[in-house]
Structure 1
Amino acid sequence: MIGKSRHLDPNGQAQGSPPRRGAFGQGCGILRHSPPPGSYQHIRYRPPSALADWVEHFWMESWALRGCAPQTRVVLPHPCVHLVFAPGRSRIYGVQLSRFVRELKGDDRILGIKFRAGAFYPFFHKPVSTIVNTSLPAQQVFPNAIPAEKSVLACCDDHAMVDAAAQFLIAHLPPRDPNVDIACKIVEEIANDRCVTRVEHVTARCGLQERTLQRLFHRYVGASPRWVIKRYRVYDVLNQLSAGIPVAWAALAQDMGYFDQSHFNNDFKRMVGCAPGEYLELR
């Protein structure tokens, strides 16, 4: 998987670390990360059963860079909304349509909640597309987010932080919305089936008209069906490249509806920041 932050042993635990309850795989869309000195850790935790329909996972990020040069992380995000608890700056991050570049410095620890693609709308009550490529203070969606931030970040270990954040979100669960299940299922099918390369493949499977599908994604996912398809197929390409598996570029471009390979290469470069053939050199 692209974006491994730490190596895992066969039990899914970080090597050289004590066992972590609920921790699992590390793929988080990282394209590039500055090398040491300094330490950095990214760990993900499964949600409790009460949140399984709403949350993909919790993630914990910590770094110790005091006295070291700042580090840069370049991430290719999934089409998901995140609630991030950070000291004095807890925010809701909408879907990011391009690469997400961050600079890390000093010492810090933050906790994030990654909502399932399509599951944030009932919390927000507005089209998720209205917060694409931007963020807003967490208290604009959750009025008591500031005391929750203090409570979560005051916890002594990762597990307590995750538990506190989970209880906060459980207390704010909205009524069930059947469209959430539909949107989540469609996005997951796109993500898991690399044969889905065009919008018509999706409409044929889900039995929705293209305009209906567009409206559903505008309101619940925050990005168009075509963009979601392209993003996950680029993930597939990155995984293939990282694994040393050859990619039939011309056939892939044609399958995805591009006029020719050069148009696919241009889109790939806009998303990833380099041409397909340069990707491994920049890793």
Structure 2
Amino acid sequence: MDEPVGRGESAILRPSAAAQHIGVRRIVPSERWRPLIDYHWIVRWECPEPYEQQIIPQPCVHVSAELYDGQPRLLVNGITREPFIRTLAGTGHVLGVTFRPASFRAVLGADLSSVSGRVVPLGDVVGPDDSGAAAKILRVDVTDEEMVAVMESHLDLIPVVADPDADAINSLVAAAEADRSLIRAEQLADLAGLSLRTLQRQFTAYLGIGPKWVVQRFRLLDAAAAAHEGAPTDWAGLAAELGFSDQAHLTRAFTAVVGTPPATYERDA
């Protein structure tokens, strides 16, 4: 079953250009993995010339089947502050798993700070060797459903223990994503009934990143979504609504993530 398209689509920058080169599909995980996995995503591309695609990183860990040092591997992509850019060429595909924000800790069996900002083979940090599963997923003739089945079968080999604290943090991250009035980490701490310091410790352990980054990242995704709507945006008004001190503050934060000011990006996108 396909996963409905959500607000996370605004993370794909310059979507009109992307649609000319790549196709994206989301698939709902099997029942046994739904408590931990948000969705599987599959990207297929046809690029006669090298094409550079940028994604706004979000507060969740991905496991993707890709080449690593020339070999097929399942790669853990920890939450990163850095821009995420891939250069695509020829014809190819990649399968990824988007875990619920705090849920990969149950797979890793350790604090997410250990993989924060890193890309590391899954088999190097947990579980059996992943190269065989990755090779099957990257076969030229493999179907989407076969890829998902191979990925989940490999993940089934890893002992996972349910963690109710992860569910609580996932609920907080979901609230930060959905509620545009949440513009400060202190508000998220109040919602959780925790001190800001305690919330920071929990986020570091379960996400590898702090609550301030999470809140601001979702507000920047809101700004990107506004740029994709096709109508002129009142950037000063939107900056105030999203909790930035002024338009210049939004411009600096947006430029640091996207590479161009929001007004310029809106014209290009």
Superposed pair shares fold, TM > 0.5: yes
Q: 2:133 aligns with which of 148, 153, 159?
A: 148
Q: Which residue number corresponds to residue 242 of structure 1?
A: 228
The CA deviation at 1:255 is 5.6
1:59 aligned onto 2:30: no
Contact 2:3 2:39 in 1 (8 A): no
Higher RCO (C-alpha under 8 Å, 6+ residues apart): 2
User: Which has the larger displacement, 270-279 or 150-159?
Assistant: 150-159
- How far is the alpha carbon of 1:25 from its aligned partner? 2.1
State whether residues 133 and 151 of structure 2, in contact with CA within 8 Å, keep that contact through their aligned partners in structure 1: yes
Cα deviations by residue, 1:120-163 (Å, 9 ceiling, x for unpaired): 11222332133232211221123231222233334731111112
**Does residue 1:186 correspond to 2:186, yes or no?**
no
**Corresponding residue SS for 1:70:** strand
Kindly indicate whether residue 250 of structure 2 is the aligned counterpart of residue 270 of structure 1: no
* Percent identity between the two aligned chains: 28
2:158 to 142, 158, 172: 172
2:14 partner SS = strand
Deviation at 1:37, TM superposition (A): 11
Which ranges in structure 1 are unaligned for 5 or more consecutive residues?
A: 1-20
Change in Cα spacing, 1:276 to 1:250, as seen in structure 2 (3 Å) is same
Residue segments in structure 2 that go unaligned for 5+ positions in a row:
none
* Aligned residue number for residue 205 of structure 2: 219
Tell me if the contact between 1:32 and 1:75 (Cα under 8 Å) persists in the aligned partners. no
In 2, Cα distance between the equivalents of 1:37 and 1:202?
Answer: 35
Distance 1:153 1:258, change over 3 A: closer
SS in 2 for 1:189: helix
Q: Which moved more, 1:249-258 or 1:79-88?
A: 249-258
1:36 CA drift (Å): 8.7
Distance 2:254 2:12 in 1: 15
SS of the aligned residue for 1:62 comes to: strand
Alpha-carbon distance in 1 for matches of 2:90, 2:235: 42
Cα deviation for residue 259 of structure 1 reads 4.1
Whether the aligned pair in 2 keeps the contact of 1:118 and 1:221 (CA below 8 Å) is: yes
Per-residue deviation, 1:40: 2.5
Per-residue deviation, 1:41: 1.8
Higher helix share: 2
Counterpart Cα distance in 1 of 2:116 and 2:163: 21
Report the AA paired with residue 73 of structure 1: Q
- Aligned 8 A contact 1:59 1:113 in 2: yes
Q: Distance in 1 between matches of 2:18 and 2:41?
A: 22
> Which digits, 9 at most, give the CA deviation of each residue in 1:52-108, with x for residues without a partner?
11111101122233xx21111011021111111125242111112132111011222
2:79, 2:208 within 8 Å by CA — same for their partners in 1?
Answer: yes
Match of 1:117 in 2: 101
Amino acid at match of 2:262: P
Q: Assess, with a 3 A threshold, how the Cα gap between structure 1 residues 58 and 36 changes in structure 2: closer, same or farther.
A: closer
**Cα shift at 1:24:** 3.6
Count residues in correspondence: 261
1:107 aligns with 91
Q: 1:23 Cα shift?
A: 4.9
**How large is the Cα RMSD of the aligned pairs?**
2.5
CA contact 1:89–1:137 (8 Å) conserved in 2: no
- Matched residue, 2:122: 138
- Residue 199 in 1 paired to residue 199 in 2? no
Q: 1:252–1:130: structure 2 CA closer, same or farther, 3 Å change rule?
A: farther
C-alpha distance 99-32 of structure 1, shift in aligned 2 (>3 A): farther
User: What is the TM-score when the length of structure 1 is the normalising length?
Assistant: 0.83
Deviation at 1:39, TM superposition (A): 4.6
Work out the CA distance in 2 between the residues paired with 1:23 and 1:143.
29
Structure 2 residue 111 is matched with structure 1 residue 127: yes
